[in-house]
A and B are shown apart, each in its own frame.
Chain A
């Protein structure tokens, strides 16, 4: 199928992009890397008359890192993140997660903002951001900006918490993980991940003080289950194996799963259990050793 014809508008600023979007409404969409959008258009699932190109907006295309944290413009590509020297040295786990997304072709044009705004249930970045308490900067009409936590941003499959004329402006990561550590793993059998697990863990006095287990790419949305986190808090070397087993058990029973082409509920439950235990162990053992 040919892509239906459309008009392209190049936005000059965030405000300009939002204005264009308000003007054309339903018949328009932001256009970043196009790796999701063009697929959807080729399949004839949408028939948009206007695309608003946001790649040339300076604010959306830059990375800045200071004491308060890391700020990545929504239209920054995966490739730019992978090649950023400061991110590579200071946030290796994040960069490693990014460099495993999709394939080189997708990463050289695909953007972090596009991933989060599309809100595909299979998302490595969304899962990772949950574990590290990442935040999103949202821009709305009249120049309004707000910061929202990643947790709760994805309300359902393909449902980001964005009003029609809102956009993601930037993604924020904490500058350092307050003595903690984050570990990320995914299993990918086709193009997209079948499961992504990211675990943040912090320790004091040889005991886990904080654990955040994010499970994504397997249920309806990436999630953190409070009982799973709680079951790991207070764990020590002696109790770790038992606590990990508990956490994995709770995760695999609490999560909502469904049968589809990626597997049966039975298999997916097993994967949740296996990866939660494995990744949480890696994270906690690493901080305990630190």
Chain B
């Protein structure tokens, strides 16, 4: 891993905590095994929960008998649909289409039908096994084509009920199995076609994949009658809090969620997942219950949308891009989950950061009888970038242009419109792609069976920009940062500590960042969309500045200085040039006796507008990467020789963490591109629900060189000019790999690039060449 060069770093703040590779503050407890995850926690009186799930993909429940289970040893409660008649049991932040447990119908294999709470795990498992269910089997639509056919079984009926946080403007009614559509048009497609244009037109397939965080979904729930307590591994505690409150008719503040460390999320723990069923089970049992999914259960709790896409790109014969027409169908499974948002983001990513005369995007979110699909790191962008970028490369080849030159000519420049009414481009894409190309040895002599590819894209990042934070400084000048960002391995607690330490000029060792507890931690919209450093970090910066203002105010009084801008803050002290007082002395002076504490509040909210997605994003996350690959034409096996990615972060708060983010995203991108694919039978059975059959990348699949180039132009809206990262490389790597294959004449239209798929394509291309 090469370090950023000096001139790339000269914008870094001069001294202090920011811009420094501080060790992870959660490192020691994790490495020593002391860190606590939900599965490690015990609450007094806690029971063990086991979910009873559907074995069929679509059917009406004709009989559900839990009497044997209820009578079994150790069983305290069995939750079924009929326990939920006193509440409106449907949830879903985008579309409220999902019952806590199946009421009268099941829509996918793995859908919860009942849940058992027992004194031991073994008793809960045994009782769940004894539950009897019978169905009237309904026809199954286990894939997009079946679900979109004229005679498709319709998976949801009744009116579409909007969820509490869909953020999609007017939610239209369902059209067959299409639960949401998004469209985006510019110019007039009909008027720009011309006879000598280059036209590239293909259909593309992206597979269903699983987020595969090491830790599965886990919740402990307790319902006291007037309050619900949850210990949950959720990425968005405050959105879960709202949703649980709505479901159980409680004020938001009567739901309290603690979020310990997460063993990875990648989107799988965004929004509400296992919390409603755990809360409902605890309510019935009248005791706390813990539910910990097995891997096979988490794989049917959420996944990434598989997609079909038809894209047509046209260009002039000299490679100037003219138009793009895109149709997208995303398989959201049996319940919408975050599907509508994923659909809109995919639509936004479809045209890529290029100048067009006309574009048309129509993206559809489709129900099928498979497990629900939701967020997954760089959603939408990962789906579309390889499609769009492989078409740009195909055009370059046909126009006789180098892919890098093709992009120099067509890429948007800083300040140009990306999406009408949205934020203009806030990055230097051409500068970034040049860096990636240089680090790949672009233009060097080609080796046999090796190809190189680059790709560029943008991801609308930041989500809804609402975050709050509190910074508290005690009388010894110890600092606690209360911020809702979930620590899921990305290092957010370390970054928040660095921001506070920088503002307050105190050592990192005096700053602590505890877990989120919604009773005490201020509101934060969510941990996702690369937003925490930028948005929540900004709130922390403001909260720390508020503490600093209080310190200066008191110091001004001590020094008898009216204008505190004449005072200097140096290493935890304030000085007027002659005298100096430590923060601790100032606090004791302010309150007298043993002192008190200073509390600063920081708030980020939409500036001016409504904070809607259309006028966003908070920033455009740059998705730029390159790859060199080698193909074994005899087996179709692809080896990734090297990768290179750009982290265009404005200012790296912790450069090492930025690099780790890009490396993780790169490896995940390699998984999405080469290996990962959830397989369903036509009856909707999940065929590969363990690591034995579902292939994720391992350390052995790492390229020999993974180069992360940190770009710091100081142009981000976050603290110290920073902007988020961590998703860009995931969107860009599959595209770079596909383009590297295209570079040696193997154009691919379906992921993952399994050896068999690549080998077959090579045979197909050879046949075509023979017949010419």
**A residues with CB within 8 A of B:** 1-2, 5, 39, 187, 189-192, 261, 263-264, 266-267, 270-271, 274, 278
Contacts and interface: CB of A to CB of B under 8 A. Distances in A.
Contacts of B691: 191
B760 A267 contact: yes
Given A190-B695, A266-B760, 17 more contacts: A2-B122, A2-B125, A5-B122, A189-B695, A189-B754, A189-B755, A192-B692, A261-B687, A261-B688, A263-B756, A264-B756, A267-B756, A267-B759, A270-B759, A274-B634, A274-B635, A278-B634
A102 to B, nearest CB: 11
A187 B756 contact: no
B84 interface: no
B550 interface: no
Contact of A190 (B679, B687, B693): B693
Interface footprint category on B: 10 to 19
A259 to B, nearest CB: 11
Given A1-B294, A2-B121, A267-B760, A191 B692 contact: yes
B695 A1 contact: no
B637 interface: yes
A189, A274, A278 — most chain B CB neighbours (10 Å): A189
A196 to B, nearest CB: 14
B635 A271 contact: yes
The listed residue with most A CB atoms (<10 A of its CB), out of B125, B294, B635, B759, is: B635
Contacts of B687: 261
Nearest to B688: A261
Contacts of A261: 679, 687-688, 693
Interface of B: 121-122, 125, 294, 634-635, 637, 679, 687-688, 691-693, 695, 754-756, 759-760
Nearest to A267: B756
Contacts of A274: 634-635
A263 B692 CA distance: 15
Given A1-B125, A267-B759, A187 B637 contact: yes
5 contacts: A5-B122, A189-B637, A261-B693, A266-B760, A278-B634
Contacts of B755: 189
Main secondary structure of the interface of B (DSSP, over half): loop
Contacts of B760: 266-267
A27 to B, nearest CB: 19
A270 to B, nearest CB: 7
Contacts of A267: 756, 759-760
Nearest to B294: A1
A278 B760 CA distance: 20
A271 to B, nearest CB: 7
Contacts of A1: 125, 294
B133 to A, nearest CB: 18
B688 A187 contact: no
Nearest to A192: B692
Nearest to B691: A191
Nearest to B754: A189
**Which of A191, A264, A267, A271 neighbours the largest number of chain B CB atoms within 10 Å of its CB?**
A267
A113 B125 CA distance: 33
Contacts of B688: 261
A274 B755 CA distance: 14
Contacts of B679: 261
State the 4 A-B residue pairs at the shortest beta-carbon distance, nearest first: A267-B756, A263-B756, A190-B695, A274-B634
Contacts of B759: 267, 270
Contacts of B693: 190, 261
A204 to B, nearest CB: 31
Nearest to B122: A2
Contacts of A278: 634
Contacts of B695: 189-190
A264 B760 CA distance: 11
B122 to A, nearest CB: 6
A187 B294 contact: no
Contact of B692 (A187, A190, A270): A190
A192 B294 CA distance: 22
Contacts of B634: 274, 278
A189 B755 CA distance: 9
B640 to A, nearest CB: 15
Q: Which of B122, B634, B691, B695 has its CB near the most chain A CB atoms (within 10 A)?
A: B634
A159 B754 CA distance: 31
B320 to A, nearest CB: 41
A261 B635 CA distance: 16
A266 B764 CA distance: 13
A225 B692 CA distance: 30
Contacts of B754: 189
A5 B120 CA distance: 14
Contacts of A187: 635, 637
Nearest to A266: B760
Nearest to A43: B690
Nearest to A278: B634
Nearest to A268: B756
Contacts of A264: 756
A282 to B, nearest CB: 14
B261 to A, nearest CB: 24
A262 to B, nearest CB: 9
B286 to A, nearest CB: 25
A1 B126 CA distance: 10
A270 B688 CA distance: 25
A89 B294 CA distance: 44
Nearest to A195: B635
